[in-house]
Amino acid sequence: MTDAAPAPDANALSDTTRAASDAAARGLAVDFVVRDGTGRPTNADFGGAQIVKSVVVQRGDSFVFVLTPLDGQFNWAKLRAHLGVNRLSLPDADAAFAATGYKRGTITPLGSSTAWPVIIDESLSGQTVVVGAGSPGVGALVHADELARAYGADVVQLTSAATE
């Protein structure tokens, strides 16, 4: 028998509820999964689904969400070229929170306080993936193509192939 996971606090529940409400409003089918354990999540924690990191990137006075495989590293030059800009940056934790309503490690386009544009790495196409759900230890299982449709996301090749 395993120990029960600690109950999420009220803020965590409200953040996941916000994510669920946004997904429902967009007609996006999402299953929320509470991960057992602590530490870095693994695909096995979510039934083998590819874990996606949601990075909020600042471009001038606005932001974009960039979704890539957890272990992937996106190519800044490709992102700048796609957006047609010369300069992008990562906001500090306070600016990221102000832009999304979520703390680092829980950032997701689902229920973000502002609906910033979403860019999804094409390597995620056709897969069931897990994105953040706004709360630590909670993932949102969703089909990447449906996520792209629901958010009007651009699907762009941003990461290098694993064989490179």
Give 71-109 pLDDT, tens digit per residue. Answer: 889 999 999 999 999 999 999 999 999 999 999 989 999
* pTM score, whole prediction: 0.86
Domain 30-156 bears CATH identifier 3.20.20.70: no
Strand segments, DSSP code E, in 60-117 are: 62-69
117 Cβ partners below 8 Å, 6+ apart? Answer: 64, 65, 152, 153, 154
pLDDT band at 4 (very low <50, low <70, confident <90, very high): very low
Output the six-digit token pair for 38. Answer: 């602590």
Q: How far is CA 142 from CA 52, 106, 117, 132, in A?
A: 11, 16, 18, 11
Domain map (residue ranges) of the chain = 30-156
Q: What is the mean pLDDT of residues 104-120?
A: 94
pLDDT the model gives residue 5: 35
Report CA 129 to chain centroid distance, whole Å.
Answer: 10
Question: How many CB atoms sit inside 10 A of residue 51's CB?
Answer: 19
The answer to which of 8-17, 43-52, 111-120, 137-146 has the lowest mean pLDDT is: 8-17
What gap in Å lies between CA 35 and CA 38, rounded to an integer?
A: 8
Greatest Cα-to-Cα distance within the chain, rounded to the nearest angstrom: 55
Question: How many CB atoms sit inside 10 A of residue 128's CB?
Answer: 17
Q: What is the mean pLDDT of residues 110-133?
A: 96
Residues 8, 135 contacting (CB under 8 angstroms): yes
Output the six-digit token pair for 164. Answer: 């490179």
pLDDT band at 114 (very low <50, low <70, confident <90, very high): very high
Is residue 23 pLDDT above 90, yes or no?
A: yes
Output the six-digit token pair for 125. Answer: 């196409």
Give 37-81 pLDDT, tens digit per residue. Answer: 777 888 888 888 999 999 999 999 999 999 999 988 999 999 999
